[in-house]
Structure 1
Amino acid sequence: MFNKLSGEGYISNLKDTEQKTLVYGDKTLMVEFKFKKGSVLPKHSHPYEQTGYLISGHMILSIDGKTYDVHPGDSWCILDGLQHSAEAIEDTIAVEVFAPVREDYLPQKTYEEMTK
């Protein structure tokens, strides 16, 4: 699967937050998240391992009770089942990979349509 840079396809599930599934395969899914300054991702957990990389901005990330001051170039891995949350200190862009694939993050187009 290959995906060209595009401003289309972003959705908003939380206030001041946008996300877009970039690519996915049989075992992983990659998502870009855009957080506006002050936005908060509430504490939650899920059955997916989540690895991330901060592209731009600044955020505070909490993983399993530990707090991290995250700047561009920093990365993280959140094991499945761990409680985590985030707060955007400034406008922020992060890319995260989930394994296994999050069915709830799959785009409306089928895999076959996206790989033509």
Structure 2
Amino acid sequence: MFTKNNSKEFKPLIKGVLMRPLVFEEKTILCEFKLQKGNILPSHQHPYEQTGYLVSGKLKFRIGEIWHDAETGDSWCIPDNVEHEVEIVEDSIVIELFAPIRPDYLP
């Protein structure tokens, strides 16, 4: 699959978090997130491995028991079923890959 920029719309997931799927196939989905300063992605876990890259902004990110100060250019990989949460310190853009594919993120 090939996707042109801006061919898919952002949709709200929770307060302060917008997501759009960029491209997907049978095993993975790549998504872009816009995160608004001052909001929180509450503690959660899911059956998807999650690999991400912080394009811009700042986040305070907990993976398991460890907190990380994420800045532009930082990246992460969260194994499936590991608890994590995010405090949005600055407006941020994140690109994340999920495997296996998340049906709830499909267009």
How far 1:7 sits from its partner (Å)?
Answer: 7.2
Report which of the two structures shows the higher radius of gyration computed on alpha carbons.
1
Question: Deviation string for 1:72-99 (max 9, x for gaps)?
Answer: 1100000000000001101000000000
Structure 1 consecutive aligned stretches of length 4 or more whose deviation exceeds 3 Å = none
C-alpha distance in structure 1 between counterparts of 2:16 and 2:47, whole Å: 25
- Are 2:38 and 1:38 aligned? yes
**Quick check: which one's strand share is greater?**
2
User: Percent identity over the alignment?
Assistant: 47
TM-score after normalising by structure 2 = 0.97
Q: What is the root-mean-square deviation in Å for CA atoms of aligned residues?
A: 1.0
Instruction: Look up the equivalent residue of 1:39 and give its one-letter code.
Output: N
Q: Secondary structure at the match of 2:85?
A: strand
Where 2:13 maps in the other structure, the secondary structure is coil
CA distance in 2 between partners of 1:60 and 1:7 (Å): 30
Q: Secondary structure at the match of 1:6?
A: coil
Tell me, in whole angstroms, the C-alpha distance in 1 between the residues paired with 2:90 and 2:45: 24
The one-letter code matched in structure 2 to 1:13 is: L
**TM-score normalized by the length of structure 1:** 0.89
Question: Unpaired runs of 5+ in structure 2?
Answer: none
**Is the Cα–Cα contact under 8 Å of residues 8 and 21 in structure 2 kept in the other structure?**
no
TM superposition shift of 1:8:
4.6
Instruction: Name the aligned partner's letter for residue 22 of structure 1.
Output: L
Q: Are 1:84 and 2:84 counterparts?
A: yes
